[in-house]
Structures are given as structure tokens and as C-alpha cells.
């Protein structure tokens, strides 16, 4: 069931077919579903989207799948068989958007590439999400999030010292999903204003390369690779975690010399440190980071967390405190702003975050997390299949028409 969107949802009337798996494409289409689009998710008969099997933490379902697939309809379909491909073609013919992130060349072998589909369905927007692009020397190479983090240079600036660290979320997939989402919205706008449907193409590598551009610019023009600094910032100081006297961690983020002077005067009671030649400007502070952090740590070790944060607030210096992932949904910002709603997953009601973008006067159309193949019969009936035909498709392994969820 979809939540009442309080009026016409922005993408009401838009149908999206997602031949999708894992993170990147499902993240893009889930955001379209949150805006009211109808999203029909095509899954394998044998276990469905393999993200369903990543873990069993949410009432027996995968945390990845629950996060990425609310509000969608699931059709479990064998697209390797001609009958399955025919059903997929029928769905695509009536859709506004077709999104896919299968392996290199998979949709082209089925005749579902953007060029072929544009000739058959001029108003269809096709979005292809690939690892390293549809052309070029690596177009046939498989890509997974960690591998792209390495190739795009992200691992060169994350971690500590000589030890790289994978970013704790699937950042390459998320970046690609975000660019696919914005690209699809742009294509829908272009179609609405010009009548022309333009294809959308996003690669994980180029999406993450965009996000890594700042350290890339720094390294390219300075000739110096930004060092791995853990939770600290490679080119801003003080910026990172410090222990207070009661053993808690406060993260400081001093952004400019004005804040630095206020920090020295009002937080650590050392106004003279602001004029110390080692610390006078941000490049100086970065160059003498060890001395800087030693001086700050010595003062904060004598103060409680409450006193430290009180002084930071009074000085107008930004800070943060460590929040464990287990406590995120109870964070005062989320609870104080009423940013949680409930959806159904595996028959249980669970909390779900509202989308971060708020449109005035429009409530997101949050929907439930679908069981594998749960919408198959209804979708097939819409396509004109009667119960006997659906039963035949089920018995011959073309579709899954029942689910244990």
C-alpha cells in the first residue's frame, strides 16, 4: 500500500520499469517511487534481486533491499526465455522510463538497448547504468562498489597512513543512483517541454570520479597526493575528532580564520595561539597539524563534553558528536522534525526515513517493500493474460506467481 501523498504526487501517471539489481538502479527508481511514479521491478525467479540475500536483519529481509525498494511492484520473470522477454517488451512499450543495470551487453543481446528501444518507442526514456561506460576500453568490465572506489582514487584518500579504508556505505553505487535519478528527471522535463525523449547513461566510475574531484584537482595541480587522515580533513585544520575529559569524542570543524580566532579565545582560552606563526592561517595549521592537535587535545582533556560543547555553541564554532548507526533513527534532528514514517516489510511495520528533499505541500508517496513476485498476477492481467495463461506461465517457469512472504 502507498501512503496517501496528500494530493497529486509529482510523478503520478509516470510508469517506470526497472530491470535492476543491487544498489545503483534500485536507488534511482526508489526515489522515483517516492515521488509517486509507478515502479515495476523485474526480478529473477531464483531468489530475485540478489540484494535480497545480503543479510536477514529486518524481520528476515535484507537491510539493503528494504532501504532501496519500498513502493515498488515486484514481477519475478525469466527474461532469458522468449516468453519472458515478450512480457518485458509489453511492459516497456507502455512505460515512460526503462532503467537497467545488468552486466555489460545484457540488454543489447535482448534487443532492449537504448537505440533499438528509441526506434520502437520514441517517447520512452532509457536509462543505462554501467560500471565504466557503454563505450571505451573498459565498457565490458564488471564493476562493484569497492573496485570502483579503488579505481576512482577514493581509497587513496580514505583510511589512515598506508592503510586504505573502504567507505562504510556503497558510495559509488549511491553516486551513480543519484545521477541516474537526476538524469531521469531532467529527461522527463525535456520530454515534457520538447516532446523528445533522450536516453540517460551513467557509469559508477564517472559518478564517483565527480565526487572525488576536489582531491583530484588538489593532487593534479599541486603534484602532492592528499594524505590519508582518517576522520580528519586532509587540507583543513582543526577538522576532526578530539577526546574530552570524560572520554567522549567531539568533532571540530573550523572553517576559516575568523572561527579559528574565536575558537582560541572563547573555547580553549588561548587567544595567543591564534597569532602563533605555526597556526595563523589554515595552510599553516595543516602543515603543523601534530603540534596543533597536541595543544588543543591538552586543553579539551581538562574539560567535560558538556562544557566543551557549551563553549563551542557560545563561540559559534561548528562541532559534532559521534552517533552510532544503531541510534540514527532516534537522532533528535530526525525525531524533532518528524522525519520518520512507517511502511510494511515482511508483514511487519518498520520505520522509514522520508526523502531528504521536501517539496512544499507534497507528502512523499512512501510504499511498502514488495515480496518477490508479489505483483506478478496483477501485472500480467493488466497486460491481457487470463488466469489460465498466467497459470501456464507459472508452471513453465516464466513467472513466479506466488511468494512465501
Same domain, 283 and 138: no
Which of 302, 325, 348 is the C-terminal boundary of a domain? 325
User: Do residues 206 and 289 both lie within one domain?
Assistant: no
Residue 39: inside a domain: yes
**Does residue 3 lie in a domain region?**
no
Count CB neighbours of 318 within 10 A.
14
Prediction pTM value:
0.90
What is the tally of structural domains in the chain?
A: 2
Of 325, 353, 368, which residue constitutes the final position of a domain?
325
pLDDT at 7: 52
Question: Cβ distance 262 to 317 under 8 Å?
Answer: yes
How many other CB atoms sit within 10 Å of the CB of residue 137?
8
Mean pLDDT, all residues of the chain: 93
| Per-residue pLDDT tens over the stretch 57-100 | 999 999 999 999 999 999 999 999 999 999 999 999 999 999 99
Domain annotation covers residue 163? yes
Q: Is residue 220 part of a domain?
A: no
Tell me: do 317 and 393 sit in the same domain: no
**Tens of pLDDT, residues 91-101:** 999 999 999 99
Q: What is the pLDDT of residues 325-366, one digit of tens each?
A: 998 999 999 999 999 999 999 889 999 999 999 988 888 999
Q: Of 91, 94, 110, which Cα lies nearest the Cα of 102?
A: 110
Is residue 224 assigned to a domain? no
Are 321 and 344 within one domain?
Answer: no
Residues 37 and 157 both lie in one domain: yes
Verify that 80 and 146 share a domain, yes or no: yes
Please enumerate in sequence order all residues whose Cβ is within 8 A of that of 202, keeping only pairs 6 or more positions apart, or say none: 24, 127, 128, 129, 130, 176, 179, 180, 183
Closest CA to 30 of 16, 44, 42, 43: 16
Angle between helices 204-211 and 171-194 (to 10 degrees): 100
Q: Are residues 60 and 175 in the same domain?
A: yes
Provide the 3-class DSSP secondary structure of residue 226. Answer: coil
Could you tell me the sign of the dihedral formed by the alpha carbons of 109, 115, 120, 123, in that order? positive
pLDDT digits (tens, 9 = 90+) for 192-223: 999 999 999 999 999 999 999 999 999 999 99
Residue 131 sits in a domain whose CATH number is 3.40.50.10540
Shared domain check, 352 and 295? no
Q: Is residue 2 part of a domain?
A: no
User: Are 69 and 26 spatial neighbours (Cβ–Cβ below 8 Å)?
Assistant: yes
Asked if residue 309 and residue 191 are part of one domain, the reply reads no
Paired with 342 in beta bridges are: 351
Domain region containing 248? 239-325
| pLDDT at residue 1 greater than cutoff 70 | no
pLDDT at residue 5 in the model: 47
β-pair type (15-19, 97-100): parallel
> What nine digits make up the cell of 394?
507459472
The string over 141-173, giving b where at least 16 C-beta atoms fall within 10 Å of a residue's C-beta and e elsewhere, is: bebebebbbebbbbbbbbbeeeeeeebeebbbb
Q: Would residue 9 count as lying in a domain?
A: no
**401 compared with 274, residue with greater pLDDT:** 274
The rounded distance, in Å, linking the Cα atoms of 383 and 391 is 15
For 101, the grid coordinates are: 543495470
Amino acid at each position: 500500500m502507498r501512503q496517501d501523498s496528500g494530493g497529486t504526487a509529482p510523478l503520478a501517471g509516470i510508469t517506470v520499469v526497472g530491470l535492476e539489481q543491487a544498489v545503483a538502479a534500485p536507488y534511482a527508481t526508489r526515489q522515483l517511487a517516492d515521488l509517486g511514479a509507478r515502479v515495476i521491478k523485474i526480478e529473477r525467479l531464483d531468489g530475485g534481486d540478489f540484494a535480497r540475500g545480503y543479510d536477514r536483519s529486518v524481520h528476515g529481509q535484507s537491510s539493503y533491499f528494504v532501504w532501496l525498494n519500498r513502493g515498488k511492484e515486484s514481477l519475478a520473470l525469466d527474461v532469458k526465455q522468449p516468453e519472458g522477454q515478450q512480457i518485458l517488451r509489453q511492459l516497456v512499450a507502455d512505460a515512460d522510463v526503462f532503467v537497467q543495470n545488468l552486466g555489460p551487453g545484457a540488454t543489447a543481446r535482448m534487443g532492449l538497448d537504448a537505440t533499438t528501444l528509441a526506434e520502437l518507442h520514441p517517447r520512452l526514456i532509457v536509462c543505462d547504468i554501467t560500471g565504466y561506460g557503454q563505450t571505451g576500453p573498459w565498457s565490458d568490465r564488471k564493476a562493484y562498489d569497492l573496485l570502483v572506489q579503488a579505481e576512482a582514487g577514493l581509497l587513496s584518500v580514505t583510511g589512515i597512513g598506508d592503510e586504505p579504508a573502504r567507505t562504510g556505505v556503497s558510495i559509488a553505487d549511491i553516486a551513480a543512483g543519484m545521477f541516474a535519478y537526476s538524469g531521469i528527471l531532467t529527461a522527463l522535463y525535456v520530454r515534457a517541454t520538447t516532446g523528445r525523449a533522450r536516453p540517460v547513461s551513467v557509469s559508477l566510475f564517472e559518478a564517483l570520479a565527480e565526487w572525488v574531484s576536489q582531491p583530484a584537482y588538489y593532487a593534479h595541480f599541486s603534484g602532492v597526493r592528499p594524505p590519508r587522515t582518517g576522520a580528519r580533513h586532509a587540507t583543513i585544520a582543526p577538522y576532526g575528532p578530539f577526546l574530552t575529559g570524560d572520554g567522549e569524542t567531539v568533532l571540530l570543524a573550523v572553517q576559516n580564520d575568523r572561527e579559528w580566532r574565536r575558537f582560541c579565545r572563547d573555547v580553549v582560552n588561548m587567544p595567543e595561539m591564534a597569532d602563533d606563526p605555526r597556526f595563523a592561517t589554515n595552510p599553516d595549521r595543516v602543515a603543523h597539524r601534530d603540534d596543533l592537535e597536541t595543544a588543543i587535545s591538552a586543553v579539551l582533556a581538562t574539560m567535560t563534553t558538556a562544557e566543551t560543547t557549551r563553549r563551542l555553541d557560545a563561540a559559534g564554532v561548528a562541532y559534532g558528536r559521534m552517533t552510532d548507526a544503531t541510534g540514527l533513527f532516534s537522532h533528535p534532528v530526525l525525531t524533532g522534525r518528524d522525519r520518520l514514517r512507517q511502511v510494511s516489510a515482511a508483514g511487519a511495520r518498520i520505520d522509514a526515513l522520508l526523502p531528504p528533499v521536501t517539496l512544499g505541500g507534497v507528502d512523499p508517496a512512501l510504499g511498502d517493500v514488495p515480496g518477490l513476485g508479489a505483483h506478478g498476477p496483477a501485472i500480467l492481467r493488466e497486460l491481457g493474460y487470463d488466469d489460465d495463461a498466467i497459470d501456464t506461465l507459472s508452471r513453465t517457469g516464466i513467472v513466479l506467481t506466488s511468494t512465501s512472504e
